[in-house]
């Protein structure tokens, strides 16, 4: 696998019930992701400036790989961007304050950074956004499996970090809690070890690990029925 450019990474595509999870590989799909990102990161969170074209695009998109979640009408409901170690991480630039001074950021072939994780805020239904987010994480996990990635950096709000941990993803903080303007949301950077996730999940929640790993199940499986306590905790955290 050549890691000099993100386009050389292996793509993924699979069905999850009535949803399709895949690497975005057309300009139309990428434009849909940029519009979704603009809606969330520019209009709602105001982390980046609004643009007249309503597209949230940055330099990282030249090396990043985006996985999207589509419904059966081919509408993009969510997306997550992975930044390979062959290019710059946002942790090295915009989010450097999230990293403790003594911490050394990994830039190995088995490491990437999760960025621009977003679910369409207009989707309806109680707990639906949480279920879509879990499916996005499955897409991220499948992409990591396909490309031999073990370590994933991420910068997230603290409440979402709690959700990730409740779901069984071991994320160790690598720096202080930072207040992100303009809303001064408490956020933190962490490192997710997928080998540790597999080891712990095999012992504590093997059904969830099987669901995360399987892309062509014999029968459709709802991960929230596998671990009802996880569903309750995650939805509660989302609504907090």
Q: What CATH number should be reported for the domain holding residue 202? A: 3.40.630.30
Is the bond leading into 229 cis (omega within 30 degrees of zero)? Answer: no
Contacts of 231 (CB under 8 A, 6+ apart): 127, 130, 224, 225
Cα separation, 137 vs 168, whole angstroms: 12
Residue 98 counted as domain residue = yes
Residue 193 counted as domain residue = yes
Span 145-165, mean pLDDT? 94
pLDDT tens for 191-235 read 999 999 999 999 999 999 999 999 864 344 455 544 434 444 333
Rg from Cα positions in the chain: 17
Is the bond leading into 11 cis (omega within 30 degrees of zero)? Answer: no
Residue 172 counted as domain residue = yes
Rounded to an integer, what is the distance from CA 196 to the centroid of its chain? 18
Residue 182 counted as domain residue = yes
Residue 159 counted as domain residue = yes
Residue 1 counted as domain residue = no
* Both tokens assigned to 61: 């998109």
The pLDDT of residue 128 is: 80
Look at 127-131, 142-146, 177-181, 230-234 and tell me which has the smallest mean pLDDT. Answer: 230-234
Span 25-42, mean pLDDT? 96
Torsion of CA 224, 227, 230, 234, to 10 degrees: 0
Res. 24: pLDDT tops 90: yes
Q: What domain range includes position 23?
A: 6-238
Res. 57: pLDDT tops 70: yes
Torsion of CA 83, 161, 236, 217, to 10 degrees: 50
Residue 74 counted as domain residue = yes
Res. 87: pLDDT tops 70: yes
Q: What is the DSSP string of 19-39?
A: EEEEE--SHHHHHHHHHHHII
Tell me which residue of 83, 202, 100 sits closest to 152, measured CA to CA: 83
Q: With cut-offs at 50, 70 and 90, classify the pLDDT of residue 7.
A: very low
Residue 37 counted as domain residue = yes
pTM of the full structure: 0.86
Tell me which residue of 16, 20, 41, 40 sits closest to 29, measured CA to CA: 20
Give CA separation, 8 vs 67, 74, 141, 147, in Å. Answer: 15, 25, 18, 10
Span 43-63, mean pLDDT? 95
Would you call 25 helix, strand, or coil by DSSP?
A: coil
Res. 1: pLDDT tops 50: no
Res. 161: pLDDT tops 60: yes
DSSP 38: I
Q: Find tokens 């999207």 and name the residue.
A: 68
* Both tokens assigned to 231: 């569903």
Cα separation, 10 vs 94, whole angstroms: 28
The pLDDT of residue 216 is: 62
- Percent of the chain at pLDDT exceeding 70: 85
Average pLDDT for the chain: 87
Q: Higher pLDDT residue, 3 or 115? A: 115
Cα separation, 69 vs 64, whole angstroms: 17
Q: With cut-offs at 50, 70 and 90, classify the pLDDT of residue 126.
A: low
Q: How many domains does the chain have?
A: 1
């Amino acid at each position: 696998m050549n890691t000099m450019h993100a386009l050389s990474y292996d793509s993924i595509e699979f069905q999850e019930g009535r949803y399709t999870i895949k690497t975005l590989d057309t300009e139309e799909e990428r434009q849909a992701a940029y519009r979704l990102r603009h809606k969330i990161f520019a209009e709602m969170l105001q982390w980046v400036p609004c643009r007249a074209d309503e597209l949230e695009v940055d330099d990282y998109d030249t090396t990043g790989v985006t996985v999207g979640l589509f419904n059966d009408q081919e509408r993009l409901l969510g997306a997550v961007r992975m930044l390979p170690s062959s290019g710059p991480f946002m942790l090295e630039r915009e989010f450097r304050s999230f990293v403790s001074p003594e911490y050394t950021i990994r830039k190995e072939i088995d490491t990437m950074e999760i960025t621009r994780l977003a679910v369409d805020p207009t989707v309806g239904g109680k707990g639906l956004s949480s279920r879509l987010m879990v499916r996005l994480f499955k897409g991220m996990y499948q992409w990591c499996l396909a490309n031999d990635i073990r370590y994933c950096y991420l910068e997230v709000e603290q409440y979402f970090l709690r959700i990730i941990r409740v779901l069984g993803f071991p994320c160790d903080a690598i720096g202080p809690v930072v207040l992100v303007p303009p809303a001064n949301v408490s956020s933190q950077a962490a490192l997710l070890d997928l080998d540790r996730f597999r080891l712990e999940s095999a012992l504590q929640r093997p059904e969830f690990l099987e669901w995360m790993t399987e892309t062509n199940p014999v029968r459709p499986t709802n991960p929230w029925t596998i671990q009802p306590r996880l569903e309750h905790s995650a939805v509660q955290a989302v609504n907090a």
